[in-house]
């Protein structure tokens, strides 16, 4: 039982840390920056070399994460003025 409770506490702590990081990332403009780079990148450049492919993959992965069902409400609440 103790191990199970400790595991649940660890999961809760990790989730809180993740949400805290996400909130800071959004508040500091990280999401907007990644999205802007992706949207403004010339489409011809996207296909030109492997390094750009990896960068685009990571951008899409971040954008997809922040738009996932679990994060969408959190992102919306963080970005909306109080």
pLDDT band at 1 (very low <50, low <70, confident <90, very high): low
> How many domains does one find in the chain?
1
pLDDT digits (tens, 9 = 90+) for 9-56: 888 888 888 888 888 888 898 888 888 887 887 777 666 666 677 888
- Report which DSSP code applies to 67: T
Q: What is the pLDDT of residue 76?
A: 66
Token pair belonging to 39: 């949207």
Q: What is the Cα–Cα distance from 15 to 38, expressed in whole angstroms?
A: 27
Would the pTM of this model clear 0.85, i.e. be above it? no
Query: What is the per-residue pLDDT for 40?
Result: 84
Percentages helix, strand, coil for the chain, rounded to the nearest 5? 85, 0, 15
- Look up the domain containing 62 and give its range: 2-79
Instruction: Give the up-direction half-sphere exposure of residue 31: CA atoms within 13 A in the CB hemisphere.
Output: 20
């Amino acid at each position: 039982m103790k191990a199970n409770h400790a595991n649940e506490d660890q999961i809760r702590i990790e989730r809180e840390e993740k949400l805290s990081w996400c909130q800071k990332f959004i508040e500091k403009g990280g999401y907007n920056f990644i999205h802007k780079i992706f949207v403004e990148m010339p489409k011809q450049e996207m296909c030109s070399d492997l390094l750009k492919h990896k960068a685009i993959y990571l951008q899409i992965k971040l954008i997809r994460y922040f738009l996932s069902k679990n994060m969408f409400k959190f992102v919306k609440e963080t970005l909306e003025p109080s």
